Structure 1
């Protein structure tokens, strides 16, 4: 499982994560045996900025949870130190002192400020040689951005570790057996903590969201935390480093100029601004700035992807400043000299090379989505890519699918629908709630006798009695009936039904010929029956006449025989 992964059951192929990912580290793939598509994060390109996690409307993007690892460390009974990022004052919905007490309640042996490590890092940046441009290395998402997407600019990165690593190394320089659990607002810190060059100096990295969930599971009432729980930090007290999570915090902590007009320093926050600078440097354009503080999150770490507080940035900044003003700190005293803590690091080219299509291959992919001309390329961005060519390149590289093109799929669906609509052997009329014609196919036109006209947009009543459509519009029920339009010499079987909340559809089946055949058959049947009845009547009459004649003959015979008998008897 990657650091950021997709809950496939929730993913609804909306492409929002693709649109939001500045480095296009999202792959869309078809689900086997289904028409659905799913988004998955490509670890080799992902910088763990976390934007995809925040914007997913289905909450399908998840971050690997490390709370279990932290609990396991605490359960061993060893010293476990919580290194709490200075953004906690704005990132968690608790007063700062209650956060410290709650961490002790969870079982941490010691709770210390990562901002002390920030001061060590800031001081080291101030010692960097002048005469060249350095990019700050405190933000792990920015470091990954350079290593994975701009490796030719690695030489610009400051060779100094992040505050998290500096503080963890300091803690273990004091107690080599201690376990360090970093807690902050950043997803990328989890990846940084696992880098081999640091040798596991950070045992576990947690984010504020999972910490808050853990706290809610273990602590029923934060207001009633035991009074004996210490609410102040252990370890060396930090001073100006408490402001490190704000935009420009590193420069401020280092005591460097914060003057926006000072051309020796610069602060850029937000991934888009960082990308613009890196592209500028990649083109070899001049840069006279000595130190540039780069932060992937707009306005700094107080807007990290895993902060719990959803307050606006002004309130978050104010919380940090208020905490700085009233907290225990060195208050201007010099940073104590720390020996034996390595503050330097190296970088690795982690570029994932991708094939690029030839012009012919690119045009072939574009043509498969109906883009044979430049004007066909809408560049609407609905697929998540800024241009149709970018999306075609992604298809070639295996990151995207052809059917991600919404206009193409809609056009194809409409084309199929139109072909079905036009080729139906029955008449179809679709009207709106005002009974105005929206769609009518040629069969219906022939039925109504309007082949040379365009009745779209006109009232249905101009061409036929709309009473049945009106009944469906009012009742919402389905009508199935037979109608005889004598003036048009037309008999139809009609099915009229609601087509969504705003439209009514009618299907007209011409049964005129069938009805005529049935009528002729009825006439034939009636004539046959009549003739049969006439024959029967005549047969009965003949039978009766024969019976009458037979009756008269029998009577005469009887009379003669009777006379003969009497004559014989008399003799």
Structure 2
């Protein structure tokens, strides 16, 4: 099995999310073109990214189609089931699960606590036989092993050179059933990663989650046992944190300590130094509460945590105390000691000061005060993010505060470059923002207190009140600013989503003054026209009066002339 394809991302809308990076304990995720990608050689398969991804963008390796083909071919397929299944499914006996899996085509179902029993015996023997006491760390959890190999390689010498439950059980089952195909059913995907080790391996691995989905197609599903519980086997305690220590027979003079949770493990590993804690055996589990907190278990938990812990304890210790006789007693196979590799987590050339400073400046970090260390990008500090950028794991644009500030600055530049005036007001009619043109008009340098103050202090707010009261989209009006002696034409826009009023204004004083001049000129022209008309009428009246008098005199003269002529005729 090639572990490089165990976990990957599908293309998703993960822009500005970075939850997977924030939760990845070794930052084995890079972002390219705003898409997250697993860095396979650095991934420790803790499944944190699967649990937190809101886009469900993670794709896991799936062996079920291949297993179904093997079953269809008629081969004997054996299922080795991790003891956490008691907590996962709540069944009293493995017989219930076996009945279901046989209906699905499995030939045999066995409790992987058999492998745990052999593993704990190996641990005990090793602690008893070591010539010189030295600190030892359990190697059963593949996530812890990969974490130490990649992040704390100097501690690999303290890992127990003993194979895991899955590996031990595989060796045993291969000897017992050499022709069978082995399928390991696990609470997590991390066990897929130890396939490159040389010892005998399971042929396939599926998780409880995958098994649960597969069983949905079975017409008759297993039922919870209502009768007496099955046999008690102490090694089932390895499914919970500290359970391995409880299942092991104590070695005289040996001290024991259990640690669970990836962050706690990291903290302890960071504190461990050569020469200290020589007489301690430390059981480490990457998942909180041990394997019952594994990714595949916790994502589809059917039982409460308390019930799960009780179920494991009852099926491991009859009276609540470890009984080393009530366990699987398998013949431990003779296999060589397990070897571990030391990997450099961030291979490559050393980072120069110039590179580091350049990237910090690209992120807008010029001083210590600029380094907010907000963690929004997924990295704990701005400096860690800068290192990731140099390593090709991150992009400068992932710095959300910087990009937001940059966009705001760019927006402000555009707004300030506007020839028009812009004032933004909230629904309480307080001034939120003013562009430079508006600041110049209202002399913001002298009235710095205006920001956050009622807009009524600088202009008439009746139209704004009317807009909110009647839920209007847009209003246009023109007001006069007495203090500035300016006429302002306004367009008020109601931004309901952000509960803001955008007031875009234009100084129309010149137009108004020109209009006034034109109106005055028109009024003067009208007055002049009226005066001219009045004068013309006066002249006409005078002419008419003169003409009237002349006509009367002429009439008298003509009449007299007429009478004279008539008299002469007579």
TM-score greater than 0.5 by the shorter chain? yes
Number of the residue aligned with 1:303: 293
Residue 510, structure 1, aligned to residue 513, structure 2: no
Supply the distance in 2 between the matched residues of 1:509 and 1:293 (Cα, whole angstroms). 74
- Residue pair 1:160, 1:345 contacting (<8 A) in 2 also: yes
Residue 114, structure 1, aligned to residue 106, structure 2: no
| Change in 2 beyond 3 A, CA 1:206/1:466 | same
Number of the residue aligned with 2:22: 19
Supply the distance in 2 between the matched residues of 1:432 and 1:300 (Cα, whole angstroms). 52
Q: What CA deviation, in whole Å up to 9, does each residue of 1:344-403 have, x standing for no partner?
A: 432233434243312232122212222222222222222211222111111111111112
Residue 430, structure 1, aligned to residue 424, structure 2: yes
Number of the residue aligned with 1:558: none
Matched positions, count:
516
After superposition, residues 35-434 of structure 1 pair within 5 angstroms as 37-92=34-89, 96=93, 98-128=96-126, 129-130=129-130, 131-192=133-194, 194-199=195-200, 201-219=201-219, 222-223=222-223, 239-256=233-250, 264-281=255-272, 283-307=273-297, 308-309=300-301, 311-324=303-316, 332-333=325-326, 335-338=328-331, 340=333, 342=335, 344-352=337-345, 353-434=347-428
| Change in 2 beyond 3 A, CA 1:263/1:127 | closer
| Change in 2 beyond 3 A, CA 1:448/1:255 | same
Secondary structure of the equivalent of 2:160? Answer: coil
Number of the residue aligned with 2:458: 463
Supply the distance in 2 between the matched residues of 1:246 and 1:198 (Cα, whole angstroms). 25
**RMSD over equivalenced CA pairs, Å:** 3.4
Supply the distance in 1 between the matched residues of 2:307 and 2:224 (Cα, whole angstroms). 26
- Residue pair 2:486, 2:508 contacting (<8 A) in 1 also: no
| Change in 2 beyond 3 A, CA 1:197/1:317 | same
| Cα displacement (A) at 1:65 | 2.2
| Change in 2 beyond 3 A, CA 1:440/1:340 | closer
Supply the distance in 2 between the matched residues of 1:74 and 1:477 (Cα, whole angstroms). 69
- Residue pair 2:76, 2:179 contacting (<8 A) in 1 also: yes
| Change in 2 beyond 3 A, CA 1:221/1:524 | farther
TM-score, structure 2 as length reference: 0.82
Supply the distance in 1 between the matched residues of 2:147 and 2:375 (Cα, whole angstroms). 23
- Residue pair 2:317, 2:323 contacting (<8 A) in 1 also: no
Supply the distance in 2 between the matched residues of 1:152 and 1:450 (Cα, whole angstroms). 63
Q: What CA deviation, in whole Å up to 9, does each residue of 1:438-469 have, x standing for no partner?
A: 11224234555766213112112222221221
Secondary structure of the equivalent of 1:83? Answer: strand
Supply the distance in 2 between the matched residues of 1:524 and 1:96 (Cα, whole angstroms). 106
Greater displacement, 332-341 / 128-137: 332-341
Secondary structure of the equivalent of 1:507? Answer: strand
Q: Which runs of 5+ in 2 are unaligned?
A: 537-570
Supply the distance in 2 between the matched residues of 1:139 and 1:167 (Cα, whole angstroms). 15
| Cα displacement (A) at 1:223 | 4.5
Supply the distance in 2 between the matched residues of 1:197 and 1:23 (Cα, whole angstroms). 26
- Residue pair 1:93, 1:309 contacting (<8 A) in 2 also: no
- Residue pair 2:463, 2:475 contacting (<8 A) in 1 also: no
- Residue pair 2:233, 2:315 contacting (<8 A) in 1 also: no
| Change in 2 beyond 3 A, CA 1:273/1:43 | same
- Residue pair 2:423, 2:434 contacting (<8 A) in 1 also: yes
Number of the residue aligned with 1:4: 7
TM-score, structure 1 as length reference: 0.81
